[in-house]
Structure 1
Amino acid sequence: MSLSLQPHRYALGVTLRRIALQPFSSLANVMVIALALAIPLLVSATLLSLQPVARQLSTDPELTVFTRVGTSTDIARSMAQRIEREYRSEVSNVRVITREEALAALKRNPSYADVLAVLPGNPLPDAIVVTLRGADLARRSPELADTWRKWEGVDMVQLDSAWVQRMEALLRFGNTALGLLAAVVAVSVLAAVFNTVRMQALSQREEITAARLVGATESFVRRPFLYLGALTCAVAAGVAIAASALAMGPLNGALADLAKSYGVEFFIQLPPPSWLLGFVMVVTLLGAFSARWSVTRTTRF
């Protein structure tokens, strides 16, 4: 086992010596990659932190089914039971607001009290408020509304389609923007590591040629460069996590007043350790891949 690890220990030692010989260049590469990684990391942390806040807000879309004026309240209650029974998987709550309850609520508002006082009767219908749940609400909500409009005794169905479309548009935008940002950062990391390893390989071309003349294998010569790319990206990922953690202090301070205006507590925090570990591993593998690609194209062993 020790013999199998010997080449890796040697390659790691060579990599660390090369980094020590060019500390400022190595530090600059790490900082450039770390700053590029910190941006999607902060965006991901923000999206993950928003999930529990979204659950606190009353954001479930609703459909309101209005019965015809003069229809018995028993029919509205029967419709509500039918919706609960037949659409159990698509609704989270169904409640009936009788015409008497609606009128009483309007009378409590001073703006409507005087107008309602001169009316000879109650002009309001019974209403069934249905709270939806699940995914793809922008598509399913109009379908449900069209189905319920055809029921006997239904006058109209009010669909909160604008809310649904805005919410799902925002979710799609966030996911798409994060994906594009991650792709741009990945290309930036590849380019930075590719160029760094290329310059290292060109500056040591004579040393590499001499090593090959004495019998060094391709793997033996390439291995230090792979460690250089992987180690640079691993350190950069760690710096990006630390920089993101520091940036969350002023960001959370700025967001505090905004969150209070919505009656919720919101603060950005780093993703869980398992997520961060996966982030570091992916970035490290990306650096190793870029280094191998660069050294293969540059030296043509």
Structure 2
Amino acid sequence: MNSWLAQHQAACGRAVRRLLAAPLNTLLSLLVIGIALTIPAFGYLVLDSLRQLGHGAAGAQQVSVFMQLDASKKDVSEIEARLQAAAPGRWRFVPRDEALARLKGNEGMAEIVASLPRNPLPDAFVVEPPNPAPEALEVLKKEISGWPRVEHVQLDSAWVRRFDAFIRIGRLALGMLAAVFAAGLVAVTFNTIRLQVLGHAAEIEVARMIGATDAFISRPFHYFGALQGAAGGLLAALLVALGLALLAAPVGELAALYGAQFALRTPGLAEVAALVGCGGLLGWLGGQLSVHLSLRQFD
């Protein structure tokens, strides 16, 4: 066990020395890997922020239940009991007098409301279901519509469906883009390590002559690819955080102009770890393929 650990430690040390031996080449490779990982990661965080904005938008998760104009307090109590039994999430009762007072408080509506002979607004319930999926909202709307003394159930889910479709398309496009960049990252690592193998061809031949196995010869190159990819992932996390920080103020000002509060989500520890791990895995894969094919050519 100690011998196995010592071999891996020595291989990792050799990989680090090879990275430091050519700083310019290493820097350029890290930039390529970092940019390849930055674009999908940046798109993921932007889409996730938009998804949270859509789910948290006022009215996006609300179902308005309007009673009939002649509904009595007993009818309202029955609907309250049904809502408690159904447990559709949070809900609140809006009396018709309160709704009229709110309408009267709107600019330019006071004179119009004063001219009305009676209150034309019904009692209503505003329901905020826990599941914001458009399909779940439609099921809830259909269920409440069948309750007694319910005149109308309003659900403005058209834009929610469009927004949900936009997020799904964005995720699909982002996944395809990530796959393309992942293939490019593997190709970059493959080419870099292939040059490393060719540069140490004489050393590899001597090692084979004295009985070194292919696993022993390949191990430093595998670590080289993994370390290079992991460092590129860390650089990508820094670039994403920097880009989001630069966009934070303009995006906040734009949202304020529309009377909303919106902030782009910065990468957390989980996202940083995922970028580093993904970069390391892809770098290791590129190194594995490159060394395997190169050693076959030596054979």
TM-score (norm. length: structure 1) = 0.82
Q: Is the 8 A contact 1:80 1:94 kept in 2?
A: no
Q: Which residue of structure 2 lines up, in the alignment, with residue 95 of structure 1? A: 93
Q: Which residue of structure 2 lines up, in the alignment, with residue 189 of structure 1? A: 185
Correspondence list, 1:53-68, <5 A:
57-58=57-58, 60-68=60-68
Q: Which residue of structure 2 lines up, in the alignment, with residue 232 of structure 1? A: 228
Q: Is the 8 A contact 2:63 2:127 kept in 1?
A: yes
Change in 2 beyond 3 A, CA 1:117/1:94: closer
TM-score (norm. length: structure 2) = 0.83
Change in 2 beyond 3 A, CA 1:266/1:229: same
CA distance, structure 2, for counterparts of residue 103 and residue 254 of structure 1:
39
Change in 2 beyond 3 A, CA 1:213/1:78: same
> Following TM superposition, by how much is the alpha carbon of 1:270 offset from its aligned partner in structure 2, in angstroms?
3.0
> Following TM superposition, by how much is the alpha carbon of 1:204 offset from its aligned partner in structure 2, in angstroms?
3.5
Q: Which residue of structure 2 lines up, in the alignment, with residue 127 of structure 1? A: 124
CA distance, structure 2, for counterparts of residue 23 and residue 110 of structure 1:
67
Alignment deviations for residues 212-234 of structure 1 (CA, whole Å, 9 cap, x no partner): 22211111111121121112112
Structure 1: gaps (5+ residues) = none
Percent of aligned pairs sharing the same letter: 34
> Following TM superposition, by how much is the alpha carbon of 1:46 offset from its aligned partner in structure 2, in angstroms?
4.3
> Following TM superposition, by how much is the alpha carbon of 1:127 offset from its aligned partner in structure 2, in angstroms?
2.1
Alignment deviations for residues 212-257 of structure 1 (CA, whole Å, 9 cap, x no partner): 2221111111112112111211221222233333334322232231
> Following TM superposition, by how much is the alpha carbon of 1:292 offset from its aligned partner in structure 2, in angstroms?
0.8
Q: Which residue of structure 1 lines up, in the alignment, with residue 207 of structure 2? A: 211
> Following TM superposition, by how much is the alpha carbon of 1:42 offset from its aligned partner in structure 2, in angstroms?
3.0
CA distance, structure 2, for counterparts of residue 109 and residue 23 of structure 1:
66
Q: Is the 8 A contact 1:45 1:271 kept in 2?
A: no
Change in 2 beyond 3 A, CA 1:129/1:253: closer
Does the residue aligned with 1:130 lie in a helix, a strand or coil? Answer: strand
Note if 1:251 corresponds to 2:247: yes
Change in 2 beyond 3 A, CA 1:158/1:299: same
Q: Which residue of structure 1 lines up, in the alignment, with residue 7 of structure 2? A: 7
Q: 1:264 aligns with which of 261, 275, 291?
A: 261
Q: 1:291 aligns with which of 287, 290, 293?
A: 287
Change in 2 beyond 3 A, CA 1:5/1:62: closer
* Larger displacement relative to structure 2 (226-235 or 18-27): 18-27
| Corresponding letter in the other structure for 1:158 | Q
CA distance, structure 1, for counterparts of residue 212 and residue 3 of structure 2:
16
Structure 2: gaps (5+ residues) = none
| Corresponding letter in the other structure for 1:96 | V
Correspondence list, 1:160-175, <5 A:
160-175=156-171
Q: 1:147 aligns with which of 132, 143, 150?
A: 143
> Following TM superposition, by how much is the alpha carbon of 1:111 offset from its aligned partner in structure 2, in angstroms?
3.5
| Corresponding letter in the other structure for 1:126 | D
CA distance, structure 1, for counterparts of residue 156 and residue 273 of structure 2:
41
Q: Is the 8 A contact 2:236 2:275 kept in 1?
A: no
> Following TM superposition, by how much is the alpha carbon of 1:59 offset from its aligned partner in structure 2, in angstroms?
5.0
> Following TM superposition, by how much is the alpha carbon of 1:138 offset from its aligned partner in structure 2, in angstroms?
0.8
Change in 2 beyond 3 A, CA 1:56/1:153: closer
Change in 2 beyond 3 A, CA 1:243/1:128: closer
CA distance, structure 2, for counterparts of residue 126 and residue 278 of structure 1:
51
Does the residue aligned with 2:26 lie in a helix, a strand or coil? Answer: helix
Change in 2 beyond 3 A, CA 1:247/1:120: closer
> Following TM superposition, by how much is the alpha carbon of 1:35 offset from its aligned partner in structure 2, in angstroms?
1.5
Alignment deviations for residues 61-107 of structure 1 (CA, whole Å, 9 cap, x no partner): 2222222232324313321331222x21x322232332x33333333
